[in-house]
């Protein structure tokens, strides 16, 4: 079968990998000049099934209001005359109930743990290297309120059978010796030893090479502008260079695919939630992270990626604004310098921003559409790196007419 995949980020390339393994003739169409040049370029680096869950949670609207008065808030809302922004925000608030949160979290957890298993199997099969490490991820708490929330999270993890350790300050220090516990005010943490770290961009680039070796064809600098349709069937994707014919099409183009899908009557409530990251070389091994932490207080994640430190954070609802404002950049830099002082040359760090394809409820959209041969693998939000292999495998099974290993 001829299958076209729209998007060469980690989700699109992972999908292409499983499709080529399945014997399909795969063409990946990407508007940028190389794989992983958008959302997959500079994310936090954590493969964190244990922490997978929706941002829409009970109490989140109240927290967001409090953050508005902080110097470096983890969530920023910049109102625009944009119906899509307000519609997404309204749906987000509707999902901040206990019942919806529990259902959405269960779905995301199921996919995330399945995806982690798929990633491990892929790594063992191919020997792919991407500055990965399997030393767990630590969530740190800086006040009693955060520690209490961590205790509640621990109970949920126990009910799901997920290995974890709820640690006090001394336990945190044992897990991450270089962490500046006193300076950051860390009182405890939640450690998930089964979670991993790795460079998402490097993984995507290396996997793209393996896809090409299996016969996958990449069309870079090629933007999909529409679909050729016949009734309820997609005949191919339309580009400025011409029609790319297909027996099936998978849409995995991040937050940029909303207008494209709308052109054929499919409305996706995906909004581009902007995030920031910095990357710098490690200059002092003794002061560097052992693995990865999620600082609950600032929502900044700090990861060790081989000989580099990556820190990422901030969620900004401002549409497709590509600027790197000083306040956001300094917020991430100040926090990582406080957590791991002297670990890297933060003054010379490289900064990046990208757009997470966020669904208001949390779970991505994977599977069939109203067109018989058009499939979705979109809306992964901040969980694209964590869930890419799993959703890629699931959509491949659906296209092949097989029952997926898990429900989506």
Tens-digit pLDDT profile for residues 18-56:
999 999 999 999 999 999 999 999 999 999 999 999 999
Tens-digit pLDDT profile for residues 168-196:
999 999 999 999 999 999 999 999 999 99
Q: Which residues contact 333 (CB under 8 A, 6 or more apart)?
A: 278, 311, 346, 349
What mean pLDDT comes out for the span 374-386?
A: 97
What is the 8-class DSSP label of residue 322? Answer: -
d(CA 360, CA 259): 17
Q: Which residues contact 118 (CB under 8 A, 6 or more apart)?
A: 389, 390, 392, 393
Angstrom CA distances, 289 to 55, 133, 140, stand at 26, 12, 13
Residue 68 has pLDDT above 80, yes or no: no
Radius of gyration of the chain (CA): 21
Given a contact cutoff of 8 angstroms between Cβ atoms, the answer to whether 139 and 51 are in contact is yes
Tens-digit pLDDT profile for residues 279-313:
999 999 999 999 999 999 999 999 999 999 999 99
Q: Which pLDDT value is given to residue 64?
A: 86
Q: Predicted confidence band at 62 (pLDDT cuts at 50, 70, 90)?
A: confident
Q: Which pLDDT value is given to residue 63?
A: 87
Q: Predicted confidence band at 246 (pLDDT cuts at 50, 70, 90)?
A: very high
Predicted TM-score (pTM) of this structure: 0.96
Tens-digit pLDDT profile for residues 104-154:
999 999 999 999 999 999 999 999 999 999 999 999 999 999 999 999 999
Q: Is the dihedral of CA 205, 107, 376, 259 positive or negative?
A: negative
Q: Which pLDDT value is given to residue 74?
A: 87
d(CA 362, CA 360): 6
Range 231-244 burial, b when 16+ CB lie within 10 A, else e? eeebebbbbeeeeb
């Amino acid at each position: 079968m001829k299958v076209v995949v729209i998007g060469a980020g980690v989700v699109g390339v992972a999908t292409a990998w499983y499709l080529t393994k399945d014997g399909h003739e795969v063409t990946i169409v990407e508007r940028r000049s190389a794989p992983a040049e958008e959302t997959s370029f500079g994310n936090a680096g954590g493969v964190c099934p244990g922490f997978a869950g929706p941002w829409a949670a009970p109490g989140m609207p109240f927290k967001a209001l409090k953050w508005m008065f902080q110097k470096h808030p983890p969530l920023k809302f910049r109102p625009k005359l944009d119906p899509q922004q307000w519609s997404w925000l309204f749906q987000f608030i509707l999902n901040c109930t206990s019942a919806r949160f529990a259902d959405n979290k269960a779905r995301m957890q199921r996919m995330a743990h399945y995806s982690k298993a798929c990633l491990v199997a892929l790594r063992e099969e191919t020997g792919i290297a991407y500055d990965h490490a399997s030393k767990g991820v630590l969530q740190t708490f800086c006040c009693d309120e955060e520690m209490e929330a961590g205790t509640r999270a621990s109970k949920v993890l126990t009910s799901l059978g997920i290995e974890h350790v709820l640690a006090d300050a001394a336990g945190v220090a044992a897990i991450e010796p270089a962490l500046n516990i006193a300076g950051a005010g860390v009182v405890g943490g939640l450690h998930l030893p089964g979670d991993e770290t790795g460079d998402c961009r490097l993984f995507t680039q290396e996997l793209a090479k393996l896809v090409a070796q299996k016969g996958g064809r990449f069309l870079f600098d090629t933007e999909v502008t529409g679909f050729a349709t016949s009734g309820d069937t997609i005949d191919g994707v339309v580009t400025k260079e011409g029609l790319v014919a297909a027996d099936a099409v998978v849409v995995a183009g991040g937050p940029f695919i909303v207008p494209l899908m709308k052109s054929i009557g499919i409305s996706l409530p995906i909004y581009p939630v902007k995030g920031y990251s910095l990357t710098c070389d490690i200059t002092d091994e003794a002061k560097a992270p052992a693995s990865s932490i999620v600082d609950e207080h600032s929502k900044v994640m700090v990861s060790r990626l081989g000989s580099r430190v990556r820190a990422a954070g901030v969620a900004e609802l401002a549409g497709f604004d590509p600027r790197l404002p000083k306040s956001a950049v300094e917020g991430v830099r100040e926090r990582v310098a406080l957590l791991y002082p002297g670990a890297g040359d933060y003054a010379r760090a490289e900064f990046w921003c990208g757009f997470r394809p966020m669904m208001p409820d949390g779970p991505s959209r994977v599977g069939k559409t109203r067109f018989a041969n058009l499939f979705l693998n979109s809306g992964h939000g901040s969980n694209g790196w964590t869930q890419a292999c799993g959703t890629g495998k699931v959509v491949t099974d659906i296209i092949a007419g097989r029952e997926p290993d898990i429900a989506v």
